[in-house]
Amino acid sequence: MNKRHYLEIELYQLIQKDSSMFEFIQNGSLDGLWYWDLENPENEWMSPKFWKVLGYNPSEKKHFASSWQDIIYHEDLEIALKNLKKHIENKNHPYDQVVRYKHKNSSTVWIRCRGIAIRDKNGKAIRMLGAHNDITNEKRLEEKYLQKSNALKAILDISLDGIMAFDALYDNSGEIVDFVWTMSNKKACEIINIKEEDLIGKKLSLIMPGNFIPLDSIGGQTLFENYKEVVETGKPKILEFYFAYDNIKEWFENKAVKYNNGFVVTFGIITEKKQLQLNLEQIVNEEVAKNNQNQKLLFQQSKLAEMGMMLNMIAHQWRQPLNHISLIFNNIILKFQKNQLTISEANELRNNFQNQINYMSKTIDDFKDFFKPTKQKSLFEISKIINETIDLIKPSIKESRINLIVDSENLIEYFGYKNELKQVLLNIINNSKDSLLESKTKEKYIKIVAKKVDNNIIIKCEDNGRGIDTNIIDNIFDPYFSTKISKNGTGLGLYMAKTIIQKHFQGTITIQSNNNSTIFIIKL
């Protein structure tokens, strides 16, 4: 049986006498014990586990300090000896450090080495009691974490966006009052022109107080209020704002998401993009204004064309009453010269004359009403508008020997611009009339049907003219496009009809055609 080492015997005796020694050993969660004779520093007892952790058979090793000093990393030995000296000189200086040993298989073993000096009655350190804890696994995990952390940091640093992370700071009532920086990537530091080491652990209000000032670009809210909402609700936020504080004057796009007890925010400068957007908006507004002006000109051209057409109709419609008036005058003069004009005949001729004048006056009133600008909507009956439009062109339709058929449901009402609907109907009916005049159809007709289907009003205008070629039907509503053989059309009528229906009635106008008929369908 091996003789026990005197230091081992002495340690056991010490533990029996001093309970603090037992507590020290117990709290160490030990992977090895050592007990060192400082008066004879070459002598040091190491427990069997001390050597087993390092891969050695305890029986192979002698209880000398040089035994472990030969396998500890040289630079770590220097640290341990320096700490030993400080602890011997001052009992309040802890002897506690992490050192590396060479395992028997040449691998590295990380050891946390702690110790306490045993002093005589005069306070002189005469022994050292120490404990080892193997923390190799922890160190390997730490290295892996550090590698991942460094890799993540490298990835974040090559990001074109600024990235920052914050922890929330609460007051005694549990209210978020500030945020503290925990991370900032390279791009973020460049944007705000502050080094990362000057940010970490600092309050947002101290470094960038502009985050607590209301911004017009986000409706008078502060960035702090938005970040606080992200943390409290857990809902991410995307903001676009102009920031002109803390030596910064830029437009930013900002995305914030909750993370642990705070939030992470990514952000980038979009000043150039915003300027391009503003320039584009200005260009678009200018183009819209030009387009509106062109639209007005097209409307004006269309109105002038319709006015010329209406004047031709009026002249045509006045021809007959003017002839009738001329006959009345000739009859009056003839009877007057022959002294044959009686009072009753004069009254009859006068009434006849007045009827012709009233007819001509009504024609002018209809003309004026059609071209009267109406900027306010009104409630009107669809059938009444159809009949009033037909009255404007009935003589021309009749003279063209076209049968006009109207099938309109009564009491279909609509709230809108009635004269503009008349203009649309007039253009479509005239288009149908011109198509019929250019066709060889014998029994010509135009049929207008109006009815309510669900919540929509459907107006159909059908003619049995020559139809529209499928190659050009898609262009029929284009400005300045005309199919009239005589080439006397402006090409604006159907374009204006579609524009009016779409813009002023929020409806649609479509066309169906074949060799025998054409149908315009208006949906309001």
Q: Under a CB-based contact definition with an 8 Å cutoff, are residues 128 and 91 in contact?
A: no
For the segment 251-261, the average pLDDT, to the nearest whole number, is 93
Q: How many folded domains does the chain comprise? A: 3
Report the CATH number that the domain containing residue 469 is assigned in CATH: 3.30.565.10
Cα 156 from chain centroid (whole Å): 25
Q: Which is more confidently placed, 88 or 353?
A: 88
Task: State whether 47 and 85 are in the same domain.
Answer: yes
What pLDDT shows up at residue 342?
76
Q: Which pLDDT belongs to residue 354?
A: 73
Q: Are residues 423 and 483 in the same domain?
A: yes
User: The domain spanning residue 29 has which CATH number?
Assistant: 3.30.450.20
Q: What is the DSSP letter of 441?
A: -
The reply to whether 347 and 461 lie within a common domain is yes
Tokens 């002093």 sit at which residue?
Answer: 119
What's the Cα-to-Cα distance from 366 to each of 276, 414, 493, rounded to whole Å?
52, 21, 20
Residue 319 has pLDDT above 80, yes or no: no
In a domain, 278, yes or no: no
Specify if 403 maps to a domain.
Answer: yes
Note whether residue 286 is domain-resident: no
Which pLDDT value is given to residue 487?
47
Residue 294 falls within a domain, yes or no? Answer: no
Same-domain status, 491 and 381? yes
**Residue percentage of the chain with pLDDT more than 90:** 42
Predicted pLDDT at 53: 93
pLDDT digit string, tens, across residues 145-190? 777 766 667 666 677 789 999 999 999 999 999 999 999 998 999 9
Highest mean pLDDT among 2-11, 195-204, 372-381, 474-483: 195-204
What integer pLDDT is reported at residue 226 of this predicted model?
Answer: 96
- Evaluate if residue 231 carries a pLDDT over 90: yes
Q: Do 403 and 500 sit in the same domain of this protein?
A: yes
Same domain, 244 and 327: no
pLDDT at 299 over 50: yes
Domain that residue 28 falls in: 6-141
Q: Does residue 304 carry a pLDDT above 70?
A: no
> DSSP string spanning 330-389?
HHHHHHHHTT---HHHHHHHHHHHHHHHHHHHHHHHHHHHHH----S-EEEEHHHHHHHH
Q: Give yes or no for residue 296 having a pLDDT over 80.
A: no
Of 247, 269, 291, the domain-final residue: 269
pLDDT of residue 474: 80
Of 104 and 349, the one with more pLDDT: 104
Helix (DSSP H) and strand (DSSP E) numbers for the chain: 14, 17
The mean of the pLDDT values for the chain is 84
Burial environment of residue 169 by CB neighbours within 10 A (0 to 12, 13 to 18, 19 or more): middle
Q: Say whether both 55 and 179 belong to one domain.
A: no
Where residue 330 falls among pLDDT bands split at 50, 70, 90? Answer: confident
Residues 465 and 333 in one domain: yes
For residues 370 and 375, what is the distance between their CA atoms, to the nearest angstrom?
13
> Of the ranges 28-32, 42-46, 68-72, which one carries the lowest mean pLDDT score?
28-32
Q: Strands of 44-46's sheet, edge to edge?
A: 44-46, 33-37, 125-134, 108-119, 95-102
Residue 375 has pLDDT above 70, yes or no: no
Do 70 and 165 fall within a single domain? no
pLDDT tops 90 at residue 217: yes
Output the pLDDT for position 236.
Answer: 94
Q: pLDDT category, 420, cuts 50, 70, 90? A: confident
Task: For residue range 99-109, list pLDDT tens digits in order.
Answer: 999 999 999 99
Asked whether residue 284 is domain-assigned, the answer is no
Same domain, 440 and 493: yes
Decide which of 324 and 331 is more confident: 331
Any bridge partners for residue 414, and if so which?
A: 380
CA-CA distance, 250 to 444, in Å (whole number)? 71
Let me know whether 108 and 49 are in one domain: yes
* pTM tops 0.75: no
Q: What is the pLDDT of residue 309?
A: 60
Alpha-carbon distance 410 to 447, whole Å? 17
Q: What is the mean pLDDT of residues 368-381?
A: 71
Q: How many CB atoms lie under 10 A from the CB of residue 432?
A: 27
- What are 73-101's pLDDT values in tens digits? 999 999 999 999 999 999 999 999 999 99
Q: What is the pLDDT of residues 453-498, one digit of tens each?
A: 888 999 999 998 878 877 888 878 877 666 654 445 556 677 778 8
Lowest mean pLDDT among 47-61, 114-128, 286-300, 309-323: 309-323
Q: Which of 172, 183, 177 is nearest to 211 (CA)?
A: 177
Could you tell me if 113 and 177 lie in one domain? no
pLDDT at 4: 81
